[in-house]
Amino acid sequence: MQDKIRYFGKSLLDAGRKTLQDRLPPGWSASLRTNEAGAAVFDVIQLRSSDKRTALLVVDAKTRVFPRDVAELKAQLDRYRGAGSLLIAPFLSRGTQRRLREVGQNYLDLTGNIRVAIARPGLYVETIGAAEDPSPPRETRRSLKGAKAGRLVRALCDYPPPFSLSDLASKAGINVGYASRLVAWLAREDLITGRARGAVDAVDRVALIRRWADDYDVLRSNVVASFLDPRGLSNTTQRLFQVDVRYAVTGSLAASKMAPIAPPRLAMVYVSAIEPVAEALKLRPAETGINVMLLLPFDDVVFERTSQRDSLTLAAPSQVAADLMTSPGRGPSEAEALLQWMKESDHSDA
């Protein structure tokens, strides 16, 4: 079966060339050849435009690439001056693609995740392929889906490192074995820096939240009910003061208290029970004109490490950012503002 094929050597190069050829503009071609420069022998793809101009891309074919490999790979390819370069792999994760874009490296995987940009002759190809490896090696079959992964992400983002593996597991409320496996995977993804036995020295919180948002979705990972407060959000916030129930505000309303970019138009509130809170807030169930969403959380971690702003209980910035990144409308742009605030303030909820 196609998804069980492992590519090696020239077969991976040939498959990569064909994948690129299939996505070139009409009249363009891509051919594979071997070049020699002194003692160095390397593969290149020659691109020929419809008006017969050519460009060379030095090719590096890898059967597997992790985000932590990108800096070294880029440095190696940059040695071939006078030509562009292209990384080819069977599959590149979203995290690896982000790292490659950050350093300006052209890439292609056989599922169709492609970004190739050259100046002369002018060419820009960007397509989206598979989000998950169709045939992952057993040791890399990890994700940040589920409550336990969410608790670990929140602990890594909310507490300042360094910490031991057992300390991290305790803070996250998960078992050490699971924490060990996920920490090892996060290190390969270049999201944390660690030492032997799972100790964590540093966390790239912004990158980790982005990676979490690849697997987590606020409207799908939680139970959501939509409402209308006819008197507006100010009425909702005032009534929240009086609600005798555990809650945590997230989304735009929470972000406006931390890194405001625009007046909020939607209140998203984690609650322990939807119907009593909706009744206490005098909300009307609605499918249009929605200005309040009540959420039963994927895990009680959303109620941990909260803060008080203007008498409101706000979810931790890490939770708010992940929720905004997967929210509709202007949520992703508000997430970017919040992530920038987190980076600049080096905020921690510990």
Residue of 341 and 346 predicted with greater confidence: 341
Q: Which residues pair with 89 in a beta bridge?
A: 109
State the distance between the two ends of the chain, measured CA to CA, in whole angstroms: 50
Residue 16 shares a structural domain with residue 112:
yes
Residue 201 has pLDDT above 90, yes or no: yes
Average pLDDT over residues 218-233: 94
Q: What's the pLDDT at 35?
A: 74
Q: What's the pLDDT at 160?
A: 94
Mean pLDDT across the chain: 89
51-69 per-position pLDDT tens digit: 999 999 999 999 889 898 9
Residue 210 shares a structural domain with residue 259:
no
Residue 168 has pLDDT above 50, yes or no: yes
For the entire predicted model, the pTM comes to 0.71
Q: What's the pLDDT at 344?
A: 83
Residue 173 has pLDDT above 80, yes or no: yes
Where among 102, 127, 152 does a domain terminate?
127
| Residue 35 falls inside a structural domain | yes
Q: In this structure, what CATH number is given to the domain that contains residue 243?
A: 3.30.460.40
**Number of domains within the chain:** 3
CA-based R_g, the chain, Å: 24
| Residue 136 falls inside a structural domain | no
Confidence of residue 346 (pLDDT cuts 50, 70, 90): low
Question: For the ranges 72-76, 79-83, 338-342, which has the lowest average pLDDT?
Answer: 79-83
Residue 196 shares a structural domain with residue 100:
no
17-59 per-position pLDDT tens digit: 999 999 999 999 999 988 765 545 578 999 999 999 999 999 9
Where among 215, 230, 258 does a domain terminate?
215
Where among 99, 127, 155 does a domain terminate?
127
| Closest to 67 (Cα-Cα) out of 100, 108, 34, 28 | 100
Distances (CA, A) of 15 to 32, 33, 110, 128, 165: 11, 14, 7, 17, 41
Token pair 């994760």: residue: 93
Q: Which residues of 6-18 are buried (b: 16+ CB within 10 A; e: fewer)?
A: ebeeeebbebbbe
SS3 category, 207: helix
Residue 118 shares a structural domain with residue 13:
yes
Residue 96 shares a structural domain with residue 194:
no
Residue 67 shares a structural domain with residue 119:
yes
Strongest mean pLDDT among 9-13, 170-174, 187-191, 330-334: 170-174
Residue 324 has pLDDT above 90, yes or no: yes
Residue type, 77: L
Polymer length in residues for the chain: 350
Confidence of residue 291 (pLDDT cuts 50, 70, 90): very high
Residue 45 to residue 111: CA distance in whole angstroms: 19
| Residue 135 falls inside a structural domain | no
Residue of 261 and 229 predicted with greater confidence: 229
Residue 139 has pLDDT above 70, yes or no: no
Q: Which residues pair with 312 in a beta bridge?
A: 309
| Residue 350 falls inside a structural domain | no
Contact at 8 Å (CB) between 105 and 87?
yes
| Residue 137 falls inside a structural domain | no
| Residue 206 falls inside a structural domain | yes
Confidence of residue 337 (pLDDT cuts 50, 70, 90): very high
Residue 67 shares a structural domain with residue 123:
yes
SS3 category, 29: strand
Q: What's the pLDDT at 196?
A: 67
Q: In this structure, what CATH number is given to the domain that contains residue 74?
A: 3.40.1350
Residue 194 shares a structural domain with residue 311:
no
Q: What is the DSSP string of 84-107?
A: EEEEEES---HHHHHHHHHTT--E
Confidence of residue 6 (pLDDT cuts 50, 70, 90): very low
Residue 245 shares a structural domain with residue 296:
yes
Non-local (6+) Cβ contacts of 51 within 8 A are: 121
| Residue 298 falls inside a structural domain | yes
Residue 254 shares a structural domain with residue 339:
yes
Domain range enclosing 57? 2-127
Residue 291 shares a structural domain with residue 330:
yes
| Residue 134 falls inside a structural domain | no
Residue 252 shares a structural domain with residue 309:
yes
